[in-house]
A = this chain, B = another copy of it.
Amino acid sequence: MVNEFELIRRYFVRDGRQAGVALGIGDDAALLEVPPGAQLVAAVDTVVAERHFLPWTSARSIGHRALATNLSDLAAMGATPAWATLALTLPRAEGAWLEQFAAGFMQLAAAHGVSLVGGDTTAGPLTVSVQIMGWVPRGTALRRDGAHAGDLLVVSGTLGDAGAGLRFAREGSADNPDADWLLARYDFPEPRIALGLAARGLASAAMDISDGLAGDLPKLAAASRLRALVAVEKLPQSAALRAVAPPDQTRDWSLGAGDDYELLLAVPPAKIHELQDKALQLNLTLTIIGELTAGAGVQWTLNGGDFAPRVTGFDHFG
């Protein structure tokens, strides 16, 4: 059994100087350099065994997702990621598990220039809590409360894939040719950091819709004191998703399964083409799903008729 200090060193400490880190892991706290003129952006997210992943989920996926959920919050603010701390509670210090967990975490961290600057490991039921820190030039963050009447509602990528992926993870894929891609969308989500940066100065508001559009959109509308109109038939769906389930089912997943880690953006019509061009350069589609008007709440329609989503998003104590 390795002790805590060795455990952190072995799997999580990287040698060499890291950007913006004056003092990293190993003292009572880290010393970090926020760029001049920038605001610090901070968020926290926790994943808990059996609540957020299945018992047979790979350690690599857990490590990836624990960081990806936090990076997605920074993406939604238009922030540049910089540093993370990790609070890892696990029943036993098992080398093979930790190596894979750290590989999933550190590979995504490296891809986005994130340095792990603090860690705390504790014995107990598997719980992974990550705090992410990044920065934006002062006053440029994408907030939920910045939208205006007339702004278009836009989502990135495709919605519902993770819902289907979770079903395959639960029930097996029986050689379904689309299963691997959908499973990867669930197990290894890609936070939309580059899109968030591209949207600074173009979008008027943004949020992460990892709890599902049906539950998250009302929060953006409320924060901006506006009414959202959404044409549900416009929700972008992947060919793989449409191939594995009937429309009623895929619609439910697209609206409420969550875990897609796409962004919802409010964009003034005059800026939409520039943002779509930037998204194309990132190999990412942006889809207009509706607009914001004066009023409150969300009006969902399906092919012109009223529609009531059967799902209301993920409530952690529901």
Contacts and interface: CB of A to CB of B under 8 A. Distances in A.
Given A129-B129, A131-B131, A43 B124 contact: no
A45 B74 CA distance: 22
Given A23-B143, A119-B44, A124 B30 contact: no
Number of copies of this kind of chain in the complex: 2
Contact of A317 (B7, B30, B117, B207): B7
B77 A29 contact: yes
By size class, the interface of chain A is 35 or more
A284 to B, nearest CB: 18
A23 B316 contact: no
Which of A28, A39, A127 has the most chain B CB within a 10 Å cutoff? A28
Contacts of A43: 28-30, 85, 118
Nearest to A32: B40
A26 B223 contact: yes
Given A26-B223, A85-B43, A51 B124 contact: yes
A265 B94 CA distance: 35
Contacts of A41: 29-32
Contact of A32 (B22, B23, B42, B144): B42
A27 B145 CA distance: 9
B36 A36 contact: yes
A24 to B, nearest CB: 10
B87 A317 contact: no
Interface of A: 1-4, 7, 22-23, 26-34, 36, 39-52, 72-74, 76-77, 79, 83, 85-87, 89, 92-93, 117-125, 127, 129, 131-133, 136, 141, 143-145, 206-208, 223, 315-318
Given A2-B317, A29-B41, A51-B122, 8 more contacts: A28-B207, A29-B42, A32-B39, A42-B133, A46-B120, A85-B131, A87-B131, A118-B131
Closest 5 CB pairs of A and B: A29-B43, A48-B124, A87-B129, A28-B76, A125-B125
